[in-house]
Structures are given as C-alpha cells and as structure tokens.
Amino acid sequence: MTTLSPTLDLTLALMREPSVTPFDANCQTLMIGRLEKIGFRIERLRFGDVDNFWARRGDSGPVLAFAGHTDVVPTGPVENWSVQPFAPEIRDGMLIGRGAADMKGSLAAMVVACERFVARHDDHRGSIAFLITSDEEGIAINGTVKVIEHLEARGEKMTWALVGEPSSSQQLGDVIKNGRRGSLNAVLTVLGTQGHVAYPQLADNPVHRAVPALTELTAELWDNGNEFFPATTFQISNISAGAGATNVIPGDMKVLFNFRFSTEVTEQQLRERTEAILDKHGLRYEISWSLSGQPFLTAKGELVAAAVASIREICGIDTELSTSGGTSDGRFIAPTGAQVLELGPLNATIHKVNEEVRAADLDTLTDVYERILEKLLA
C-alpha cells in the first residue's frame, strides 16, 4: 500500500467524518489533538448547536491566524457519486469525496504546515492561531461571527488571517482572494387586490404593477466598480404570486433579490435607491432587508506580500489578486482590522457531486502555508 503524506492522511480522516452543516462530527477533535501536541492552547466555543474552537500558540503579537470550517454541504443523491461521499478515495491522482476542496484539504494542510514549522522554529516570534467553525456553509450566525465577538470582547486581535477557502481557478495558487463583495438580500412583497380575471376593474394585479419597476431595477447601473471590485450587480432569485388557478388575479406578489456590491456604494444607498424606484412606480409594497456581509479588501500589506512571494517560490507562478465569487467568513474577520486573504485549492467542483481535488496539490498547499509562516513569523 502506498504511504500517504501526513497532509493526505489527515485530509482523509477529516473527510470520513459526515460533518454536514452545522454538525462538526469529530473533525475539530482530530485537529485539536494534533495542535495540542505542538503547544497550542485550545478554547472550545460552542454557540447554539455549533462547535467552534480558537487555538493559539504564543502570547505576543503579531498573530497569524488560520481560519476555516469543518462543515460541508449536503451530498445530494448518493447514487450519483462515483464514491461514497464520506468514504473518500484517491483515483488517478484525484482525491474524491465531500469536503476534498471545500475545505478539509486546506484544514489538513494548515495543521501539517504548523507542525513542520514549529518543529524547526519552536521559539518563533509572535503567535500562530486557528479559528475553526462548523457553521460556514449554513446560516453562519453561531460560528465565526460569534467567535470574533468573543475575542473582541477581551481585546484579542489577529494581525493576519489566512482563510483556507478554495480560491484557485486553473492551477494551485493562480488566484488568491484579497477581498469579497458585500451581499445584501431583500424580500419584496408587492400588494394588490385579488379578484376574478374576467373583472380586472374590480381587482389590482400586483404582477402587472411590479413588472415595470423590476425591469428598471434590472437595468439600473448601480456603480462602475473600481480597481479591485467589479460593478455592483442586482439579481432576482425568486418570484411567486397567484393562487394556482388561471382565473384568479393574485392578491400579492413576492420577489427575492440580491445585491453583490462593491466599495463604491453603501448598503444604505442601495436600499434608498431601490425604494425610490419602487415609489416612483406607485407600488404598494412591503420590503425587508438583510445584510449578509459588507465588502472587504486587503489591498496590500505583509500578508499579501508573503502569500504572493510564497506562491511564486513554491508554485513558480505569479498569482492574481481577486475579489470575485461569493461571501466567506473573511467578512466577519476583516472589520476587526486584520489583513485577510483566502488561499486554497481549485474551486471547480465545490458543492458538486464528485467533489475532487488533485491529491498532490494538498501537499503543495502545505508547502505554501509553511513558507508564509516562515516569512511572517520565523
């Protein structure tokens, strides 16, 4: 039997745990056991039904924190997989199973990188930390955000946060996320009067009233973006109306939509401009807003420099800094003042059936993480 590398061995152990969000199964215990052996102090933090932990080695600054999540999305129909989702296999150099890329491979690489670094630099400067949650793939209210509140309440800060989200596109290290767009959600209810389709004069069709306003919202130029962010986008994700009958005018219409926004516009400006358009069209409506996260950006600094140089040295490529994609837990860390980057394996198969990652990439990722540690804390 081929001997697996320490990173692959730990990755497989983590992937065998059915940690569908928000449940951690046994993943954090596996990580904690390894970290305790190399001198990390562990603080288990359970909020609601979510397991989290904060681990730290060292008492002084600067603090380099590895951040990530042990929870994964549901598998979908198991019969559609080429392997059992929680019985991972390596086939033709590819590690297949739920969590391979998002993000148990990154977690294993972080732990092994720290083990190797500490073995050579027992007296490293500053501190190394881990912020791990099991609530990233779910509603994300009892995970990283609560741990950050806990740390902030006692004045404990991170200098740099390296999030293991799968950031790479075509090859390991070709893209790192140095920021993310903000995400603003809305539930709009357009009010009308239900009635018979044969007597429209006795009813008020909310669909007919809403269409011009929605058309204007979809055509609106919210901003032009900037050097780091693409232009803000507006997307309707769901529309529902009617009683399920062809002869009934609906009494109301519900619309769900989302903004992914740059730093060129604020949450409040988006709300006000949206409601101004709705008002202009004379709609009777109710609207509820929810902010998933503000945009954040680490344009430059020691963490960016260390990551870019490490990727060039280990992978032999120049990385691209990007703010594309969805939200991540980096949105909760950045407001503390920490420099935040996301660096992980290829993201082509995340959340899909037969999620996979190149097995060799996880060993390379371990080397990159270790080199970043060297540059920042050796």
Of 153, 166, 147, nearest to 352 by C-alpha is 166
Pairing of strands 339-342, 160-163: parallel
- How far apart CA 121 and CA 10 sit, in angstroms, is 22
DSSP H helices, the chain, are 6-15, 27-37, 105-120, 144-153, 206-219, 267-280, 302-315, 330-333, 359-377
Using DSSP's 3-state secondary structure scheme, residue 176 falls into strand
Q: Name the residue among 109, 82, 130 with its Cα closest to residue 8.
A: 109
Is the Cβ–Cβ distance between 136 and 21 less than 8 Å?
Answer: yes
- Collapsing DSSP to helix, strand or coil, 72 comes out as strand
Strand partners, 69: 133
What's the length of the chain? 378
Active site residues: 71, 136
